[in-house]
Structure 1
């Protein structure tokens, strides 16, 4: 059996092979540790309340039970709120990306007058916030309470994402923009026809960040929305968990309620994470490169 060789034709040393084996074993172990909680949650979502309370559930469901899935998916309001979440995520991510990319491109121009002030304003908001009551008064006075904009606009720009994208734009070759200006392109033309096509990696990363943030957000809806038909699915499920827990505590429902209350947290986590798991594989190849390109100068 031939000995393994490197790309340069040289034999790998015994130490290098040992390092590779140890490194592989460690990485497999880390992957198993990371997957264990998720697999356990899936198993608990299909398990009976007795098995969950007894701590018998690990990798496989014990006492197969789909009562919670039936209770949640059979609720018409659940699907309406699910649609609201999709709408809020799509519209919110589109607005956030439009604002973040344009603002970051402006901040990346070192010759811009007042650039330091604009960066300072953005960074200031990372450390200081108006507070819960002033924000509530502001949203209400702007007429956005009980509208989708109360959920979308407060998180339209993430300063963390803004700084990453600004750093990425600063690393783009200046010669490309100079050549485009000679050809007669305006700044807007340079931005849309040259800068954005070269920024697919960081844009995909920011889309993922914003999408996950909007998809998981329930607190803004909890504060600013009073109508059930406007709730996102995360708030619906949060209320469902609270309601099921209260019902179980007061023993006010039939025997099936205890089954639901015991594994409803696992079910809700599975239902809310599925769309993100479906999207992530398509942007995963851009994820690491986008973050690294936006954070390393040189």
Structure 2
């Protein structure tokens, strides 16, 4: 006597967990394990290629002098931790002064750039604003064409900005790309919300500062990061506008003493005792120039993905 067995069908709308011995993830079958292993191997190689130089830089900056001499320069893993290089460059002198200048220029420049870019973008986003169409064309034109080095230098010199820190801020104060991104975000704010504020008696400045800016934290974090990285990494403006080495930012010092391999002396670092090895000093300067951005980015990372999608095509 045979017993029939009834197999109940899978509920509608539910994807089976297994099919032909292969697990499914979100309805898509996983590739065979050799393919997954090959992908992991390739990804691991690329990660190692990215991480290894950074590890070598940090290791060289804290490695003892004799190990650096034996290695002939870069050290992949130090035998002991020696922070004399950081103590030397941060005890005073050209590196400490340049770091303070870079921090000041970055903070002041980012604040001014964000404020002016938001004002311009908000004006361009409001329909019916006087001259908004012509100004938008000017902003777009600046993204495609630039005046060139010589006319810009003549303008900066005519304004009396040579050998001043304002020469590092004002020529790059507003970025056309950032203004376009901010304008796209401001245009997506519901017009009904702004109109209700106007009915309640709020002026444009009140609407801008009390409604638009609080709703734009994500895009402001991203644009602020763009401006901060730009000011922190800028060296070319300092190279052509600053003749006084006492006003050099950290990136120009980095270019002079690391890329051009100019030797640091006791006078440059205001240190009386013997200096650590030059490769250790150079790598320590490089680490100091990288640390602020590495510290800042994790706090803004949660806003980064959302802010980068501003103005994207939506389905």
- Scaled to the shorter chain, the TM-score interval is 0.7 to 0.9
- 1:35 matched to 2:51? The reply is yes
Structure with greater helix percent: 1
Which protein shows a greater Rg?
A: 2
Q: Report the equivalent of 1:19.
A: 30
Judge conservation of contact 2:256–2:262 (CA < 8 Å) in 1.
no
TM-score (normalised: structure 2): 0.77
Q: What secondary structure sits across from 1:15 in the alignment?
A: strand
| Distance in 1 between residues matched to 2:56 and 2:16, nearest whole Å | 43
CA distance in 1: counterparts of 2:137 and 2:108, whole angstroms = 28
Distance 2:150 2:137 in 1: 24
Aligned equivalent of 1:49? 68
Give the CA RMSD over aligned residues: 3.1
Deviation at residue 232 of structure 1 after TM alignment: 1.3
Cα–Cα, structure 1 residues 70 and 156, in superposed 2: closer, same or farther, change >3 Å? Answer: same
CA distance in 2 between counterparts of 1:33 and 1:297 reads 36
Moved more, 76-85 or 142-151: 76-85
Separation in structure 2 between the aligned mates of residue 108 and residue 32 of structure 1, nearest angstrom: 45
Contact 1:171/1:297 (CA < 8 Å) preserved in 2? Answer: no
Match of 1:5 in 2: none
Give the number of aligned pairs: 281
Evaluate the alpha carbon distance shift between residue 183 and residue 27 of structure 1 in structure 2; reply closer, same or farther with a 3 A threshold: farther
Partner of 2:24: helix, strand, or coil? helix
Q: Unpaired runs of 5+ in structure 1?
A: 1-7, 248-255
1:171-193 alpha-carbon deviations (Å, 9 max, x no partner): 11111111111111111111111
Closer/same/farther in 2, CA of residues 53 and 123 from structure 1, 3 Å limit = farther
Q: 1:27 to 1:92 in 2, by over 3 A?
A: farther
Q: Could you tell me how far 1:148 is from its partner in structure 2? A: 1.4
Which residue is equivalent to 1:191? 208
CA distance in 2, matches of 1:40, 1:88: 29
1:1-298 equivalent positions in 2, closer than 5 A: 12-13=17-18, 14-16=22-24, 19=30, 22=36, 25=40, 29=44, 31-47=47-63, 48-50=67-69, 52-53=71-72, 57-58=75-76, 60-61=77-78, 66=83, 68-241=85-258, 244-245=261-262, 259-260=277-278, 262-296=279-313
Q: Would you say the 8 A contact 2:218–2:306 is kept in 1?
A: yes
1:250 maps to none
- SS of aligned partner of 2:277: helix
TM-score, normalisation: structure 1: 0.81
Cα offsets for 1:133-189 (capped at 9, x unmatched)? 211111111111111111111111111111111111111111111111111111111
Contact 2:257 2:263 in 1 (8 A): no
Consecutive unaligned residues of structure 2, counting only runs of 5 or more, are 1-12, 265-273
**Cα offset, 1:45, TM superposition:** 2.5
